[in-house]
Amino acid sequence: MIGLPLDVTLPRLKGIRWRYCTRWDEGPAAVLGMSLLRLGICRPNDWSGSAVDFVERGFRRFCSQNRAVDVKRVWVGDLRITDSLFELSEQERNQVEAAREGMTDHLYLVGDYEAAASIPIGATLPRLEPEHALLPAAFYAVLTANLYKWMRVYDYLDAQEHAETWMEDLRGEELEASVYRKVDLELPACIKRHSKALKYRRARALLQKIRPRTSVAHELIRHVLEMDAHGQGQEHAWPGQITEMDVPGVDAWLEDAEYSRPGCLITWYENDAINACFDEEAQHMGENGPCQPNVALPIHLNKPAKELDEEVRCVFDHASAMLRSLAAAARIVELVRDLYDEYLREHRLESGLPVEPGAAGLREK
């Protein structure tokens, strides 16, 4: 027997929102959205019926206006507005929301990096030294001082610390053959001679005064000074600077969290001792707890409108400086990589840098 046909009704999906947000999401977003509207970051036509979407549209436009596209050419990361300092699973988020007695009274601007951008600077320094004996160290000092405002930087200083720790347990031939000894041995003479005496202020003054003869030096100096100009007056917003008075419970989270993952890896050459030390450390990052974000700025929603607007303005000024500074830094990294690829071709070595998945990742070949 064949049954009679059944009536089938298909729902109309037109006009239905593709994302659902709970009142826990919409409430804080509504307070922040009103502030962003008053500050001109959000616009009335951004409204589509959802406070979360309203804030997202304004924030995306803000990032685009501050050269986020240029930033993404090099830096693999995320700048977001969130109600948590760390990522939560669906189960964890449900537990947090169930324990809440009301709407959260603070949000965060959080910046983090999914991969460490590779900066093989060893081939660049010899191109600067003919211009001025101090120029390589000055360029390095200003570049790293500005990168440190936005991220954890892994360079020869971190490698030295890692090497010293592990060399304590090595003796004789094992110590002689270890990669840890090479950290100091591979340090370029132009950095070893001048890095301790040539700090940021003196280095910046030298870069402003020098008139380079080559186009490569001119471009590198121009971009690093542009990067420095965008970062003026800004300091690194480490999560550790958030106090228990600002956000109750933050101390307990910081105790359980690990140090931030690096946003970049500055080496001399591919597969040098710095790279080896970084690879060893990267294998264990995040094993004992969540890693702290590189940047975290709280936004307190329970303030009067005028005070809230001033705090939001400061937070977004920091985000603007960060994006514009990293956009200039991206151009520097591209120039450094081009010089390194040229070095590899001249020495008949294979061009390109390997990639490794996860937070320790380097740029693709």
pLDDT tens per residue across span 251-275: 888 888 888 999 999 999 988 999 9
User: Which range has the worst mean pLDDT, 1-15, 126-140, 189-203, 210-224?
Assistant: 1-15
Q: What is the DSSP string of 298-346?
A: EEETTS-HHHHHHHHHHHHHHHHHHHHHHHHHHHHHHHHHHHHHHHHHH
Where residue 360 falls among pLDDT bands split at 50, 70, 90?
Answer: very low
Whole-angstrom Cα distance, residue 137 to residue 303? 46
In the beta sheet, which residues pair with residue 49? none
- Residue 82 structure tokens: 């969130």
Q: Averaged over 171-195, what is the pLDDT? A: 85
> What pLDDT, on the 0 to 100 scale, is given for residue 362?
43
Asked if residue 191 belongs to a domain, the reply is: yes
Q: What percent of the chain has pLDDT over 70?
A: 83
Asked if residue 40 belongs to a domain, the reply is: no
> What pLDDT, on the 0 to 100 scale, is given for residue 205?
97
Asked if residue 201 belongs to a domain, the reply is: yes
Whole-angstrom Cα distance, residue 295 to residue 236? 7
- Residue 52 structure tokens: 């979360």
In this model, does residue 297 exceed pLDDT 90? yes
User: Which range has the worst mean pLDDT, 76-85, 197-206, 214-223?
Assistant: 76-85
Burial of 139 (0-12, 13-18, 19+ CB in 10 A): buried
> What pLDDT, on the 0 to 100 scale, is given for residue 106?
87
Asked if residue 362 belongs to a domain, the reply is: no
Apex 260 CA angle, 268 and 333, nearest 5:
35
Cα dist. 173→166, 181, 286 in Å? 15, 12, 33
pLDDT tens per residue across span 138-162: 999 999 999 999 999 999 999 999 9
More confident residue, 136 or 84: 136
What's the structural domain count of the chain?
Answer: 1
Burial of 302 (0-12, 13-18, 19+ CB in 10 A): exposed
Asked if residue 57 belongs to a domain, the reply is: no
- Tracing tokens 């830094």 back to the chain, one arrives at 329
Q: What is the mean pLDDT of the chain?
A: 86
Domain that holds residue 189: 66-346
CA torsion 339-340-345-351 (nearest 10°) is -130
Looking at mean pLDDT, say which of 7-16, 248-257, 289-298 comes out highest.
289-298
Whole-angstrom Cα distance, residue 198 to residue 135? 10
Radius of gyration of the CA atoms of the chain, in A: 24
Give the global pTM: 0.85
More confident residue, 218 or 25: 218
Whole-angstrom Cα distance, residue 79 to residue 82? 10
Asked if residue 18 belongs to a domain, the reply is: no
Asked if residue 357 belongs to a domain, the reply is: no
Looking at mean pLDDT, say which of 13-22, 84-93, 149-158, 191-200 comes out highest.
149-158
Total residue count of the chain as it appears in this document:
365
More confident residue, 168 or 239: 239
Q: Averaged over 311-337, what is the pLDDT? A: 98
Asked if residue 53 belongs to a domain, the reply is: no
